[in-house]
Every structure is written in C-alpha cells, then in structure tokens.
Structure 1
C-alpha cells in the first residue's frame, strides 16, 4: 500500500486525527501498567501498550486507573515521549477504524505557538520521524513515519476553513490557550502567543467564566481589537463563545471542512487543528 497522510492533534486531554477517510478522537490519558485484579473496561478507547520497554494503559481506562493523577503531561511543548505514544496510538486507531493495512505515514502534528521554534520542532520531528514498533492490545505494530511537519496550534486550525484578510484564532486546549493572528494566509508572530492555562489546569468546565476572562485579558494585551474577526476552536467552543462575545463583537466557531475521499465533510470545532494539519499534509506531501 502507499503512504497515508494524516493530521494529528495530540492534545493532553484528547487526541484528534484527520485523514482522507474522516476523523477520529480518543482520550489521551496514559498511566503505567500494573496487574489488575478486576479488569473493567471504561470506554471504547481503552488500550494497553508497550513501547521502548515502557508498558502502560491509555485511553479512558488510564484516566480512571492512573495512580498519580491526571494521566497527562502538561506544558508548553509536546517534544516528549508521551506525544510519540499518543501519535502512534492515534495512527493505530485511525487505521483500525478506516483503512487497515497502512504502515507508512506522512504526518503533520502540532506544537503550541510559544514553542513553535526551530529547536523544539526539530526535537519533535526527530522523535516522530522513524521506524516504530509498538504493541497495542497485545498486537505488535510496525509503523514507518516517513515525513513529519510541525504546525503551530491555533494557526494550523486556520487551514481547516481558510478566510481572506486578517483573522484572530483562539484555540482553547486542556493545558494551554493559543491565540493566533493570520493575515493574508501568513502567521503574524507579534500578535500571537500561547497562554499557560487551559480547561484541565484551571478547574475544568466549572471555571469557564474564568478562562474566558483570562483569554480576553491576554488577547487584548496582544492589541487585539473588540471588532476583530475572532474564530474559536477546541472542545468548549460552544460554551465559551457567548462569554467571549461580551468583549469581542465578531466571534464565531471555526467549522472544519475536511477534503475526504468521499467528498467534503463538515466537523466540530474540536477537530479544527487536526483537519488543518491534514490539509497542510495533503498539500505538502501530495
């Protein structure tokens, strides 16, 4: 078989994957393996894995069984082994769901805007671009990741539904909020940033008011204007837009448009980065 292009948003709470057949998502909690007296399934994304001598559980199962809390590594960079495992699990799930048999991949993954720098990008590329052997649910998988692109989260989401002129993008994640400015299809560094707070690190959905206030305060420091066109993506998009609209007068969700084999697919804003990353992979790698 040929090489499969994928866009993978390996978030701290959920991974989102987009490719030519559709999208997929799973809970990205990871915890160390241990013998369980009672083996209970907590979700359809439960997985057991072994990679580079590391053995553990992933998915909803890990979010319940993790003995050390959280089941995720938060921070403003994704250049660590947890990201590699999340990406490989995402590839496994996508191919099992849509296209069994693919073992060669070109991918575009993401980094927060603040760590979208040459050294951090190279570190993540070097970790991902390789021949990987991972055992998932007692099945040994051989995956070859041949080309890797790293896009800025938030900015990459723009390519899921491109707009003319200048747009602002607020990408609300579990551990960070990315604020991106795109003008005539170009990322504007001086009006973009990553804020070190997110849904899971500031009290969850119960503190959505606080996240909205913090986001408004942080973006106005970037000199965003109240009348700017602001597009929002992430899992809490529908809940936070009314709160952001108390300041921004033109705020709306990003509606990702996936160029799939069976025609154009419309997806939820939570898939904006993944779809944008896939569009970049499709255009870059053919």
Structure 2
C-alpha cells in the first residue's frame, strides 16, 4: 500500500510520496489517433485509455493533440482531475492499493464538493498508460484546502498568511496558531493563465487589494507559493512589506503540505 499526495493543478500535476517528487503537464487531449511518426516529445509522454476513452496527456498532448486543454476553475470535482490523479498513480507508484490526499481551492472547499471528489476517486479503477494496464484501488482519499494548508510548512505560531498563486486561481489562506481561519481565507477565481494579462504589477495589485479588502494588514507575515510566486513577489512587497517565498520550493508547497496531512491521517 502506498501513501501519496497529489496536487492535480491546472498547469502541472505534482506527485510526492515523501521521497520522490515528480511533476508533469496537466494538459489532456481526448482526440487520440494512431500516429505515423512516433517521436519522443518529452519525459512525460502519455497515451491513456480509461473507461472506453483514449487520448494523450502530458508532453505528448502538448505536441500531438489538436484539441488539448487543461480544465481550469475553482473546483477539482471533475473527470480531468481524476484522470491526472490516476495517471500519476499509474506511473509513479507500485502495487494496487493507495491512500491519497488531494487539494481543492478554498472557495469550494465545502462538505458537498469534498464528498463529490471523494466519491469520484475512492474505489477501483482500471487505466492503461502507454499500453500498460494497471488496476488501482484507492481505499481512502482526503481533500485538503489549497494554499492555507501550505502554511503548515511555516514553523511557529501566531498569524500566518499564505497567497497561493496558481494558473487558474489564487488562494488566500490564514492560520492562527496553526489553526485554519475561515474568515481570513478565500479564493480569487483568476490565475496566471486566465487573466488577460499576467503583468506582475497589475495582477499583483489585484491580488493585494483582494487581500487588503478582506482584513489583511500590510505588516502581516505573508508567504507566497504556487507557480506565480516568484514572478509576483516584488510587486506584492509594495503592499505587504514582509512578503516572502514560502520555505523550500514554492511550486511544490501544496503537495508537500498535503503529504504532511497524509502522514498524520494514514500513519506514515
């Protein structure tokens, strides 16, 4: 049995089992075809087959799918997220049985949405990737709140603010003495790949004003994570003087925090 964390993001899917970290493009193509020229396009070339559907994923979808897309939005309760998770389990784990922790934006981290995600994921799945069929049994799945959960990587107590800048959403999380604070946690349903322009100054201003209008202070301890963290760090410092990148790689912060939760839940 494996215990793993998977962040099925809109731009990249990230996998972590406590030892091995892997990420691959989240883009999917459902327009499979027999290729005449089968050249290797990248490290993560995937041809998948699941429930009578076939397609390309990862680097192969980037180059060979005519209708490739990465589904974005403020929820991961959809088949594309499931397919990303199953491809990750197929490629990077051994055995059949798995317990996992995945993520969901704060705005839709509701009981109903979490139950929908769990019902979609838990159970038996049969998937083939690059012609190799595997049976997967996911016995448990828990759903962590994106962004705010990454605050668990920050040592100590007090008030900790986290801005998780993703491709489709920006999550704002608050922890007070390592407890999640709902009042100070929310989601902006725009990200680095969904705004018309991802200009660091203008998008950073939009993010900062969203936080300030919800009670955050300019002197708060603000930690940045997600794919847009480094690009927007300087512009956000104009509004939050203590803004800094979260400890370790900001891109992997969510999946590393998910694994902390997995360890406590599943006894790793």
Fold shared by both chains (TM-score > 0.5): yes
Shift, 1:116, TM fit: 0.2
Residues 167 and 228 in structure 2, CA contact (< 8 A), matched pair in contact too: no
Please name the residue that 1:277 is paired with: 258
- Structure 1 unmatched ranges of 5 or more: 96-100, 257-267
Shift, 1:167, TM fit: 0.5
- Secondary structure of the 2:199 match is helix
Give RMSD over aligned pairs: 1.5
Please name the residue that 1:87 is paired with: 85
**Within 1, Cα distance between the matches of 2:43 and 2:204?**
32
**Within 1, Cα distance between the matches of 2:67 and 2:209?**
33
Post-superposition, which runs of at least 4 consecutive aligned residues in structure 1 deviate over 4 A? none
- Secondary structure of the 2:204 match is helix
**Within 1, Cα distance between the matches of 2:41 and 2:203?**
29
1:106 aligns with 2:99: yes
Q: What TM-score does the superposition give when structure 1 sets the normalisation length?
A: 0.89
1:242 aligns with 2:234: yes
Please name the residue that 2:207 is paired with: 215
Alignment of 1:34-183 (within 5 A): 34-68=33-67, 71-95=69-93, 101-183=94-176
Shift, 1:19, TM fit: 1.1
Distance 1:66 1:217, change over 3 A: farther
What are the Cα deviations for residues 221-269 of structure 1, in whole angstroms up to 9, with x where unaligned?
Answer: 111100000000012322211111011011111124xxxxxxxxxxx11
**Within 1, Cα distance between the matches of 2:211 and 2:65?**
35
Q: What TM-score does the superposition give when structure 2 sets the normalisation length?
A: 0.95
Shift, 1:91, TM fit: 1.6
More divergent stretch after superposition (41-50 vs 59-68): 59-68
Shift, 1:141, TM fit: 0.9
- Secondary structure of the 1:200 match is coil
1:14 aligns with 2:1: no
- Structure 2 unmatched ranges of 5 or more: none
**Within 2, Cα distance between the matches of 1:14 and 1:152?**
17
Distance 1:55 1:10, change over 3 A: same
Q: How many residues end up aligned between the 2 structures? A: 266
